[in-house]
Amino acid sequence: MARLKFEMWIDRDGNIMSRFTDGKGRSTDSYWSSPPDSIDHVGPEYLRYNYRHPNVGNAKHEAFVKRRFKEEFQKVKTNTV
């Protein structure tokens, strides 16, 4: 079984992207036009939209993505300033 993984990066066009890989090794990518510092306020349905990360399948995934989003976004933000 694969481990959960969440990463963010800036693509070659300067867009902020994220990738979530679930425990079955399935990954989805998402484009963020103007991401907030935190996504703690969003509900599970937001993360599961087709244009975000539809493989966020349960509360454990949701908590993981929200925690890692804050960590990864801070790294990306310091690289864009």
0.75 exceeded by the pTM?
A: yes
Q: Which long-range contacts (CB under 8 A, 24 or more apart) does 67-74 make?
A: 68/6, 68/7, 69/6, 69/8, 69/18, 69/38, 69/39, 70/37, 70/38, 70/39, 70/40, 72/6, 72/7, 72/8, 72/18, 73/8, 73/16, 73/35, 73/37, 73/38, 74/37
Domain boundaries, the chain: 5-80
Whether the pLDDT of residue 80 is over 80: the answer is no
Q: How confident is the model at residue 81 (pLDDT cuts 50, 70, 90)?
A: low
Question: For the segment 62-78, what is each residue's pLDDT rounded down to a tens digit?
Answer: 999 999 999 999 999 88
Whether the pLDDT of residue 2 is over 80: the answer is no
Question: For the segment 9-68, what is each residue's pLDDT rounded down to a tens digit?
Answer: 999 988 899 999 999 999 999 999 888 899 999 988 999 998 899 999 999 999 999 999
